[in-house]
Structure 1
Amino acid sequence: MSSVRHDRESVSALALDLLDRVGLPDLSMRRLAAELDVQPSALYWHFGSKQELLAAVSDRILAGVPERGPEADLPTVASGIRDALLAYRDGAEVVMSTHALGLGDARAPGALRAVLGDDAAADALFAFILGHTMLVQQRMHAQSVGAAESPDHDPSPDADRVFHAAVRAFAAISPAVRSR
């Protein structure tokens, strides 16, 4: 076994890299430990559970999203969140499961709240962004393994159109956005 000492940051960084290479279904504590050349039990020194590890991975996925963004416009913030999720294989699924359990930081919802000025609308938009991005990633995965009904059809233009229409709809109903 390795004599290299790992910390929470290096373990979560490698977990994100492994997620991107193998996907969420194949990201296991055992596989991560093998990549680090340590016993699986050594990972529990840094993370009490796999869900806690995934929360750290989720935080890494969303690290580029500004914590607060009242000076930014809604399309920029929403697209930034979506782009962060799409940057990693199964990124939306990891963030969604972490968010559902109330784990990880609230950087992305906080950025939406700052722009929308309405907690409920921000939470609804974040749920939409997660769900919509997860659908896009599922389509992309299906196409990559030949499971899509029409491998020649690229759903991206339709997905982008739907995404931007939803963001415009949220902006239209939000008093804080309308008053700018």
Structure 2
Amino acid sequence: MVHARSDVVSTALRVLDAHGLADLTMRRLAAELDVRPSALYHHVADKQTLLAAVADELLARGRRPATAHAWPDRVREVAVGLRDALLAWTDGAELVGTVVGFGLGGTAPLRDLEEALAGSGLPDDLVPVAARTVWHFTLGHTWEEQTHLQAGAAGAIPDEPLGTRDPGAAFTAGLELVLDGLRARADRSTDRSLTAG
């Protein structure tokens, strides 16, 4: 059977969701596609390239159209959408964090955050730093939440979210703290430019 690259990536995403990142192997993926493992290398150079493509697909499927206008609302919209996309798939946060850490992909949310922060009043050199701060908070919170939920579902730990009964509310509160800090820094930068002018 002949498969397109999109078939390989979609099947890998299903394997990830069913078995987790540790069990997303080239051998298992080949078995799911009913091909020899060597056939996969016609579509991806190696497992890292496959993981990057799977992460990008996961994020693309979870991407929502931008509707907010004010920069804090746009940042909030991207962060919430990222969290939802990561939670929708087994080990989604671990996969995307790994791929971004290796510099292989998964950067669409970072670009979206930079675009959202462009009109914030932050100095241009701080916009990428601010975007990465929101990214790290979102990824870290979601990874912890997802790991705890999956361990609870497997019976390895009590099935109660870590540190709170409502991880969504905890995420929202933490994100608001980050946004408060970004607003304060943006306001200070704006005040300095007005004073200098």
TM-score (norm 2): 0.80
Where does residue 19 of structure 1 map in the other structure? 16
Question: What count of residue pairs does the alignment treat as equivalent?
Answer: 174
Question: Matched residues in 2 for 1:19 and 1:102: separation?
Answer: 20
Where does residue 38 of structure 1 map in the other structure? 35
Alpha-carbon distance, 1:68 to partner:
7.3
Aligned-partner residue type, residue 135 of structure 2: F
- Structure 2: 5+ residue stretches without partners: 119-126, 191-197
User: Greater share of helix residues, 1 or 2?
Assistant: 2
Q: Secondary structure at the match of 1:62?
A: helix
1:54 aligns with 2:55: no
- Structure 1: 5+ residue stretches without partners: none
TM-score (norm 1): 0.87
Structure ranking higher on relative contact order (CA contacts 8 Å, 6+ apart): 1
Alpha-carbon distance, 1:100 to partner:
0.3
Residue in structure 2 matching 1:167, options 155, 175, 188: 175
Alpha-carbon distance, 1:177 to partner:
7.7
Where does residue 123 of structure 2 map in the other structure? none
Question: Matched residues in 2 for 1:68 and 1:55: separation?
Answer: 24
Q: For each residue in 1:26-84, what CA deviation from the matched residue of structure 2 results, as whole angstroms up to 9, or x when unmatched?
A: 11000000011111011111111111000000001110325877735222221001000
CA contact (8 A) 1:15 1:57 kept: yes
Question: Matched residues in 2 for 1:5 and 1:56: separation?
Answer: 19
Where does residue 83 of structure 1 map in the other structure? 84
Question: Matched residues in 2 for 1:159 and 1:18: separation?
Answer: 26
Where does residue 123 of structure 1 map in the other structure? 132
Question: Matched residues in 2 for 1:110 and 1:31: separation?
Answer: 33
Identity of aligned residues (%): 41
Where does residue 140 of structure 1 map in the other structure? 149
Q: How much is the aligned-residue C-alpha RMSD, in angstroms?
A: 2.3
Larger Rg: 2
CA contact (8 A) 2:110 2:135 kept: yes
Question: Matched residues in 2 for 1:158 and 1:70: separation?
Answer: 25
Alpha-carbon distance, 1:104 to partner:
1.5
